[in-house]
Amino acid sequence: MTEDEARERILSTAEELYYRKGYAAVGMDELRAAAGVSLRRLYALFPSKTDIVSAVLQRKHGEWESGLTGAVAAAGPDPRARLLAVYGYLEDWFCTDDFRGCAFINAFGELGGTSPEVAAIVREHKASFQQYMAGLVVEAGAPAALAAQLAILAEGAQSTAAISADPQVAAQARAAAEVLIEAATRA
């Protein structure tokens, strides 16, 4: 197995285990065994658990951005439809069998108080989402304050759906977003 193959296997396995069981619950030995690599190789590629968690979160960030921008692009040119597509993307995600909430919120909850590196990655990810929403709001010609409101609504939907195991939270968030968008663009 090449170094790239081992790295990919470790990251894929870590992503799945951390999301299913939690970041703190998965030790390096369990990760090594599940990935099918030696402990020596694991530590050669990732000197610490924080290095693995950071790499996993960077991957998740790329997956999130790709999925979200794809869903928004598929909504077409209408700025309002593009804003609402965010909630359609959430609904699709919430309906997956393995949905367990936002990996970033989960990581921050478990590790944010003890790992400044993880906290910084989570903050960067959330800031990136806020910036993306701000761009969509500008396209819609709405006041800048709407971006934070819609982003907070999406973040709350992620947490609520994870806790309640109810994907309909996304439809409820979309309905609330429609009210906010209407009020903001009417003003």
Domain edge (last residue) among 14, 32, 47: 47
Computed over every residue of the chain, the mean pLDDT equals 96
| Closest C-alpha among 14, 100, 26, 81 to residue 54 | 14
At 76, give phi and psi (nearest 5°).
90, -165
pLDDT at 1: 85
Q: Which domain holds residue 142?
A: 49-186
Does pLDDT of 37 surpass 90?
yes
Do 8 and 42 sit in the same domain of this protein? Answer: yes
Q: Do the Cβ atoms of 101 and 158 come closer than 8 Å?
A: yes
Verify that 2 and 74 share a domain, yes or no.
no
- The whole-number average pLDDT for the span 60-76 is 97
What number is the average pLDDT over the span 62-91? 97
In this structure, the answer to whether residues 43 and 118 fall within a common structural domain is: no
The answer to whether 14 and 52 are in contact (CB under 8 A) is yes
Quote the pTM value: 0.93
Banded pLDDT at 179 (limits 50, 70, 90): very high
CA distance 26 to 38: 16
Statement to judge: residues 63 and 130 lie in one domain: yes
